[in-house]
Amino acid sequence: MSETATELSWQERVYRVLREHGVTQFPYVPDAGHRFLIEAATADPSVHAIPCTTEEEGVGIVAGAHLGGETGVLLMQSSGVGNTINFLSLIQHCSFPFLTLVTMRGDFGEQNPWQFAMGQAVEPTLNAMGLITLRADDPEQAVSTVEAALGMTQVGGRSVAVLFGQRLLGAKKF
Amino acid sequence: MLERTPALAALLDGTDDRLIVTGLGSAANDVAYITDFAPRAFTMDGVMGAAASLGLGVALAQPAREVLVVTGDGELLMNIGTLATIALQNPQNLGIVVLDNGLYGLTGGQTTATATVADLETVARGLGIRRTLTVRSDDELTAAHELIATPGDTAVIVVKVAPGPAAAVRIDRDGSRLRSNFRSYVLSEVGR
């Protein structure tokens, strides 16, 4: 690994991996944990950074991107997972390959009690809608898990959610 | 008042190369009927509220192709914020046709908000859509046909139609087949 590569943050490496795999549509609902990826996509003239009013739009956009021959990834916070559930019918019923990166709340070290209900329901609800969930709790895992998920979606044709845990992102103290 | 299926047929006349994404229900039936089940039409029969965002993804992926979303007032209202998401991107190859009959046709004809208080063209403008038109007559239908044939900012066309049944066809409900046929068409030379 070159000197520069070792200096890249895990978020920069994740963005690089997504771009190397041809991801060109980045629908998102803002989240502090996704700040780097959102800024990187927004600054990149060769991709579409697409702020959404609600997360289910991102599911529609990723499916539409595939219909049009491109690849998208949905960036959202765990609270947004609940908003996507019925739209994930589209993914399952039509066998769309689908990738989402979810930044977790209501998880390791959470102190805001409003976050636990949805945070703890993320995996069971996504699994119930046919998605494979993969957790990443440290920087190395984050990069390798996104890489693995890209293979599972682009080659394997499945739908996968990568969950970035609060052990990785840091739990907010409020 | 305009009748839905002939009005949509007039609007789609001469647009045989256009990619179409429909909302569930009557819009899907009408489009399947008018396009004779062409693979370039992705007709949904579920996932209410998804047509516009799906169309956005297709339009951004295929900037050289014209893309049309055909849906109903209830379907669009369910995720009306998507118009703001689309306005921010403002793809130059996207049109959204709303067949507005003021009711939920699939569930027994209960009224939607457009039957009384809501105006979709005003909402679309307010959310940032730059080209909008409401169609109530044959003359306005001709103007709408011209509008979607002219490339430019994303357009929303609200067609006020009388309550009444959609085309009586049975649409293909095999989602994987619809996805695969549409994508193959888009990526094939024929589809270009």
Would you call A45 an interface residue with chain B, using a CB distance cutoff of 8 Å? no
Q: What is the pLDDT of residues A111-120, one digit of tens each?
A: 999 999 999 9
Quick check: A1 pLDDT over 50?
no
Quick check: A174 pLDDT over 90?
no
Q: Quote the CA–CA distance of A101 and A96 in Å, as a whole number.
A: 16
- Model pLDDT, residue A7: 78
Quick check: A5 pLDDT over 90?
no
Domains of chain B are 4-187 (3.40.50.970)
Q: At what angle do helices A55-67 and B51-61 cross, to 10 degrees?
A: 50
Whether the CB-CB separation of B68 and B148 falls below 8 Å is answered with: yes
Confidence of residue A6 (pLDDT cuts 50, 70, 90): low
Binary contact (A50, B50; C-beta < 8 A): no
Q: Which CATH architecture has domain A8-169?
A: 3-Layer(aba) Sandwich (3.40)
Would you call A56 an interface residue with chain B, using a CB distance cutoff of 8 Å? yes
Instruction: Locate the chain A residue with the closest alpha carbon to B40.
Output: A67
User: Which amino acid, residue B61?
Assistant: A
Would you call A130 an interface residue with chain B, using a CB distance cutoff of 8 Å? no
Give ipTM to 2 decimals: 0.97
Confidence of residue A170 (pLDDT cuts 50, 70, 90): confident
Quick check: A2 pLDDT over 60?
no
Q: What is the pLDDT of residues A70-113, one digit of tens each?
A: 999 999 999 999 999 999 999 999 999 999 999 999 999 999 99
Task: Give the H or E element holding residue A63.
Answer: helix A55-67
Q: What are phi and psi of B96, to 5 degrees?
A: -125, 120
- Model pLDDT, residue B15: 85
pLDDT-flagged residues of chain B (< 50): none
Provide mean pLDDT across the span A24-43: 97
Task: Give domain limits for chain A.
Answer: 8-169
Residues 6+ apart with CB under 8 A from A14: A37, A101, A142, A143, A146
What is the distance in angstroms between the CA of the first residue and the CA of the last residue of chain A? 38
Q: What is the pLDDT of residues B3-59, one digit of tens each?
A: 999 999 999 999 888 999 999 999 999 999 999 999 999 999 999 999 999 999 999
pLDDT-above-70 percentage for chain A: 95
Instruction: Locate the chain B residue with the closest alpha carbon to A28.
Output: B85
pLDDT, chain A, mean: 95
Quick check: A4 pLDDT over 70?
no
Token match 């893309």: residue? B67
